């Protein structure tokens, strides 16, 4: 059973859910600075930060078992300098932690998917459908909801990936993962769904659940999770 806390701090959420792999974004720190409550999740922290600004942005990954390999970036010097992509390979899958994305990222994960299923986890900065934000009519030209961004995200899904949350909740409204700090937006649930766990379409049978943990406090985003039944995943 899950604890029935009305609200959960990041520490409580990590202890309650005890994920096998944790993928934070905008970490703004190096691997040596990972808080102890996250280190207790597993002994294998990895961090990819901007090369010239280690305290700016960055993505990380912690896992309960040691990955077979960890790749920092996509082999694109221009993008890799931003510290936005980190990939960990396990026996049964690859996990990609990502902050933002573009056409080159779609090509990168499509290549990975040829040899092993891929879980893409992160803040992708786009609300794909009108039910993925509270005020779609007033945000048609807002970054994160432009027609071009939504169509490009659809192309990423079309390359062979599932929006895991919508697999189980195709029409559920108000399931947001981001709220601005202004005007009490979170209390009023005036939000956006910008955070995703995508999963290789060919691994659909292994997809068990996908959840948004809106109770978890401590950020303007909340955690999202994907639940897989894979033999040898770790």
CA atoms within 13 A on the CB side of 198: 28
Percent of the chain with pLDDT over 70: 82
* Residues 173, 131 contacting (CB under 8 angstroms): yes
Question: Is 102 designated active site?
Answer: no
Q: Catalytic: which of 48, 84, 99, 132?
A: 99
DSSP H or E stretch at residue 111: helix 103-113
Q: Which CATH class is domain 10-228?
A: alpha beta
State the average pLDDT over residues 39-54.
67
- Is 99 catalytic? The answer is yes
Spans of all domains in the chain: 10-228
Task: Give percent above pLDDT 90 in the chain.
Answer: 61
Catalytic residue among 123, 132, 163, 195: 123
pLDDT digits (tens, 9 = 90+) for 128-167: 999 999 999 999 999 999 999 999 999 999 999 999 999 9
Q: What is the mean pLDDT of residues 1-9?
A: 44
Could you say which of 46, 48, 128, 221 is catalytic?
A: 221
């Amino acid at each position: 059973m899950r604890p029935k806390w009305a609200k959960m701090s990041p520490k409580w959420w990590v202890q309650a859910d005890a994920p096998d792999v944790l993928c934070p974004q905008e970490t703004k720190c190096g691997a040596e600075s990972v808080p102890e409550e996250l280190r207790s999740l597993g002994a294998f922290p990895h961090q990819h930060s901007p090369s010239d600004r280690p305290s700016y942005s960055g993505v990380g990954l912690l896992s309960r078992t040691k990955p077979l390999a960890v790749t920092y970036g996509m082999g694109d010097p221009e993008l890799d300098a931003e510290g936005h992509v980190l990939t960990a390979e396990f026996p049964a899958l690859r996990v990609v932690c990502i902050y933002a994305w573009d056409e080159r990222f779609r090509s990168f994960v499509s290549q990975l998917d040829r040899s092993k299923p891929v879980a893409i986890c992160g803040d992708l900065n786009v609300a794909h459908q009108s039910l993925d934000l509270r005020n779609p009519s007033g945000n048609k030209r807002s970054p994160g909801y432009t027609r071009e961004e939504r169509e490009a995200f659809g192309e990423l899904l079309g390359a062979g990936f599932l929006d895991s949350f919508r697999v189980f909740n195709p029409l559920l409204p108000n399931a947001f993962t981001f709220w601005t700090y202004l005007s009490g937006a979170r209390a009023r649930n005036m939000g956006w769904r910008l955070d995703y766990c995508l999963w290789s379409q060919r691994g659909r049978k292994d997809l068990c659940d996908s959840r948004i943990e809106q109770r978890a406090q401590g950020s303007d985003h909340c955690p999202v999770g994907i639940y897989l039944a894979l033999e040898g995943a770790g």
